[in-house]
Amino acid sequence: MTVKTIATTPYDDQKPGTSGLRKRVTHFQQPNYVENFIQSLFDSLPGKENMTLVIGGDGRYFNDTVIQIAIRMAAANGFGRVLVGQGGILSTPGASHIIRHYGAFGGLILSASHNPGGPDGDFGIKYNAANGGPAPERITDAVHARSLVITEYKSVDTPDIDLTRKGIQSVAGMAVEVIDPVADYAALMETLFDFDAIREMFASGFRMRFDAMHAVTGPYAKAIIEGHLGAGEGTVVNAVPLPDFGGGHPDPNLVHAKELYDLMMGPDAPDFGAASDGDGDRNLVIGRGRFVTPSDSLAILAANAHLAPGYARGIVGIARSMPTSAAADRVAEKLGIEMHETPTGWKFFGNLLDAGRVTICGEESAGTGSDHVREKDGLWAVLLWLNILAVRKQGVDEIVREHWARFGRNYYSRHDYEEIDSGAANLLMDDLRARLPSLPASGLGGREIVLADDFAYHDPVDGSTSSAQGVRIGFADGSRIVFRLSGTGTVGATLRVYLERYEAPDGAHDRDTQDALADLIALADSVAEIGARTGRDAPTVIT
Ligand code: VG1
Ligand code: CO
């Protein structure tokens, strides 16, 4: 094998964010931009020689180009084997499972998740370690440091491999195996859930719609929900992954999955509606006439997980990201199990899962998952819901209401201000942080303040500290406002404001969410001067 060493010059903007390196496709297309990042990563991975690397992505534009580059560079950098999904396809949770299942050294997942695709859309590269989870900050910091000083990268001169053909091919002596992206994942799901019970539910007339949003979950959902579980053909819509997601925005929220939402709220609603995002790690769950907020979904799944065979012995603990509502905390309290609050991003759950401290994790951004992989898993959440519905033989709305009656309801909403000026956004956060110590002792808007800080996380497993993870202002009545800047946006800055209010089990659970949060929304604007500093009089997206 002849390894070529090619001279390059560093870029100064290759710092991985919440979920890998994410930029416009055109940005990635700059000379050596991809090569620099991958070489910086490989340079930061001691012990990779002769090991297995998993590669796959969500099928978006530029996916196959980067896969070919990555395969050649893996060969030149001494990897022993590459496993790549057929057609270049691997969902994020699918890749996590493949890494674990085959004992790989790690994996490259090519995705910008829910961001739009196509030549003018976004692209991204994430690295997951041997546990199947997103690289911890220790690795991403090393990659960033390396990217600032890199002078050369390594590759080999070989033709592209045929990604359509399953089986083993060779690239400069390194074995490249093209694998079925779905089969191993489907087999894993079958070990966790009662497929017979769910099959029976479908056979007795239960109807569902799953919107794959022309993204990576299509083939997985078709094979599992229509194939294994016998839901009628056509249950999974928009099932073929397209390079530009059909021009849509593969974000399963009430804005971008509006068609599904409207169907579920209308007279012809099936029993259950669900959707997933670009790379398959997020989920949207809607019952007939009832949208389930991701924070509630986490709590309900945790409270009912024991109904699925994979969790029949109960769960050992729950973790949620800091901005996620405290609904799950009440479940953990009742079950008498550990509860952890981590910074935003799945990488912070890895240590807790590896150490066996928690079984179920979730984020307010529609991510839920368990210790079966080390990523959030959209289809997993949908299948767990189906399993619960099959066992409880109740509708989604009824289950949600019973949950509130038992644990109380956490009214919850996130307000995003997208593409605002980065300078103004940073200044807003800096000034807010600086003002925290001088917030009036009497409280805000008649509410007594019990907590005002910039969240810092102390990992109980490895002892590391991650600071500046978001400003939180907590009130005595259990309500809370959180402010943070997104780490996944690609243009300007995105300010996220998270609002939450607790209503006890015997309280009013039927209020409109924005109404129930109205005074907190006004308070958030006045304390952070959002309108004045961003020039916006309303959020871009409300979820
Ligand atoms: C967002 C979400 C966060 C999620 C991350 C990656 O990050 O808020 O909860 O983990 O996206 O999800 P941020 O920094 O923009 O708030 V995905 O589905 O893009 O891998
Ligand atoms: Co995603």
pLDDT tens figures, 66-111: 999 999 999 999 999 999 999 999 999 999 999 999 999 999 999 9
* Ligand in nearest proximity to the CA of 217: 2
Say which amino acid occupies 81.
Answer: R
Q: How much distance in Å is there from the Cα of 33 to the middle of ligand 2?
A: 23
- Residues 340, 455 share a domain: no
- Residues 200, 148 share a domain: no
- Residues 348, 207 share a domain: yes
- Report, as an integer, the average pLDDT of 309-330: 98
* Closest ligand 1 atom, residue 279 Cα: 18
| Helix spans in 52-162 (H) | 63-76, 92-101, 137-147
Among 280-284, 341-345, 439-443, name the one with the lowest average pLDDT.
439-443
What pLDDT was estimated at residue 131?
A: 95
CATH of the domain at 116: 3.40.120.10
What pLDDT was estimated at residue 19?
A: 83
Average pLDDT of every residue of the chain: 95
What pLDDT was estimated at residue 17?
A: 87
Residue that finishes a domain, picked among 370, 389, 407: 407
CATH of the domain at 413: 3.30.310.50
- Residues 196, 175 share a domain: no
CB-CB contact of 485 with 494 (8 Å): yes
- Residues 194, 166 share a domain: no
Torsion of CA 352, 471, 433, 516, to 10 degrees: -170
Going from the C-alpha of 396 to that of each of 105, 212, 519, the distances in angstroms are: 40, 20, 29
Q: How many CB atoms lie within 10 A of CB 23?
A: 22
Q: How much distance in Å is there from the Cα of 505 to the middle of ligand 2?
A: 33
- Residues 429, 358 share a domain: no
- Residues 144, 10 share a domain: yes
| Active centre residues (catalytic) | 113
The range of the structural domain enclosing residue 65 comes to 2-181
Token code pair at residue 511: 């209020």
Nearest CA to ligand 1 atom 13: 486
* Closest ligand 1 atom, residue 494 Cα: 15
Q: How much distance in Å is there from the Cα of 93 to the middle of ligand 2?
A: 9
* Ligand in nearest proximity to the CA of 216: 2
Q: Distance between CA 441 and CA 524 in Å, rounded?
A: 17
- Residues 147, 43 share a domain: yes
State pLDDT tens for residues 477-513: 899 999 999 988 778 899 999 999 999 999 989 999 9
User: Given pLDDT bands bounded at 50, 70 and 90, which one contains residue 1?
Assistant: low
- Residues 419, 401 share a domain: no
- Residues 226, 372 share a domain: yes
- Residues 395, 414 share a domain: no
- Report, as an integer, the average pLDDT of 384-407: 98
What pLDDT was estimated at residue 147?
A: 97
Residue that finishes a domain, picked among 389, 407, 425: 407
User: Given pLDDT bands bounded at 50, 70 and 90, which one contains residue 441?
Assistant: confident
Model's pTM, two decimal places?
0.94
The pLDDT of residue 13 is above 90: yes
Position with higher pLDDT, 1 vs 277: 277
What pLDDT was estimated at residue 446?
A: 80
- Residues 378, 243 share a domain: yes
CB-CB contact of 315 with 337 (8 Å): yes
What pLDDT was estimated at residue 315?
A: 97
Ligand 1 pocket by Cβ (under 6 Å): 18-19, 113-114, 277, 281-282, 321, 344-346, 363, 365, 367, 486-488, 496
Number of domains in the chain: 3
State pLDDT tens for residues 405-435: 999 999 999 999 999 999 999 999 999 999 9
Q: How much distance in Å is there from the Cα of 365 to the middle of ligand 1?
A: 7
Residue that finishes a domain, picked among 407, 425, 457: 407
Nearest CA to ligand 1 atom 4: 345
Nearest CA to ligand 1 atom 11: 488
SS3 sequence of 266-312: CCCCCCEEEEECCCCCEEEEEECCEECCHHHHHHHHHHHHHHCHHHC
What pLDDT was estimated at residue 185?
A: 98
The pLDDT of residue 440 is above 70: yes
